Amino acid sequence: MSNNNDEPTTTTIAETENFISWKAEEPDGETTYHIELSNVTVHFFEEEWAEFLELVRMLK
């Protein structure tokens, strides 16, 4: 995390031994969400993240 106003502020949402999900508060006010799955990172804008969470809930 950086104090530079040009850098996003990141927060870990959840983490396991192999996966991590985090969000970034971008300098332009946008919030982006990220999931790291081994060597793949999936990036979401806020609206996409909400839809992704809805999808995950349907998997139960």
φ, ψ (nearest 5 deg) of residue 41: -120, 130
The answer to whether 3 touches 10, Cβ cutoff 8 Å, is: no
Question: Is 80 exceeded by the pLDDT of residue 6?
Answer: yes
Domain ranges of the chain: 9-58
Cβ contact 31:23 at 8 Å: yes
pLDDT tens column, 7-56: 999 999 999 999 999 999 999 999 999 999 999 999 999 999 999 999 99
What's the CA gap between 35 and 18, in Å, rounded? Answer: 11
Closest CA to 10 of 28, 31, 32, 25: 25
Enter the pTM of the model: 0.84
Q: Which two tokens stand for residue 2?
A: 């950086």
Looking at residue 55, its pLDDT comes to: 97
Among candidate residues 44, 36, 32, the one with its CA nearest the CA of residue 14: 36
